[in-house]
Amino acid sequence: GMQLVHKLKNMEAPLWDLDLLVPALMSLGEYQTTIEILEANLQVEPLNSFSRGFLMAAYEGMGNSIQARLEYELGEELTPQWWGDIVSFFLRLGWNESLENLSDTEGISADVLSMVSELRAGDTQRLLSLLDAAYNREALESSRYVHYAAIAALIEEHALAIKFLSKATEILPVHLHWIWLPVFRKTWEHPEFDDFLQNVGVVGYWEKNGPPEICMNKSNFLVCNPDYEPNKTQSIKIL
């Protein structure tokens, strides 16, 4: 986590070379450091589409939607089919924007696209049956569980969204970085979200190292509150 970043900085490791730490830092809510690393990386490697995609998500996590959109437009000019399309999918879900023209997006599976069409049609029951079926089979890629979670969050099935996120993070813990995007904002308020954060170790990390940098965006986490006392049984969720 942040200790490793500080250690590497003290060893005078260049910021731009720390991009592999980004998913872990974002999972822990350390978004300001993430932005610094990615901005430095893109100065050196402007065609690094993964860095630009993560930068979109990091800006959105810090509440800067305008810069997130600008990074996407720049990425589109450089590479029309790129990982930022997946990030854009999550951002557009959170912004309640139109989900047209997703069929040519690489990395979004056919079953997720069919869920999106049910979402547009407003058929919640059909959508729930598709999500239940998805939950009860093994996904080809663990990232798909996060896509299902986002769809579940949109139809207010937050317990199901948390179940999908649990599946994803059990396979690959850094999938957690998606949770800080607006599409999951109401999921943060669900009673089971606290346990989820405890189980993945995020709360323990915050209690040991202090509040995350997403607090700079005044995210209203209890952990961002100056009167927050670690090691007491209390809720971490949004106030």
pLDDT at 119: 84
pLDDT band at 228 (very low <50, low <70, confident <90, very high): low
pTM equals: 0.84
Put residue 12 in one of left, alpha, beta given phi > 0 → left and psi -120 to 50 → alpha: left
Q: Dump pLDDT digits (tens) for 104-120.
A: 566 788 888 888 888 88
Strand partners, 221: 238
Q: Dump pLDDT digits (tens) for 11-56.
A: 455 555 566 688 888 998 888 889 988 998 899 888 888 899 999 9
4-18, 113-127, 175-189, 215-229: the lowest-pLDDT one: 4-18
Residue 125 pLDDT > 50, yes or no? yes
Dist. CA 178–CA 183, nearest whole Å? 9
Enumerate residues 6+ apart whose C-beta is below 8 A from 86.
53, 105, 107, 108
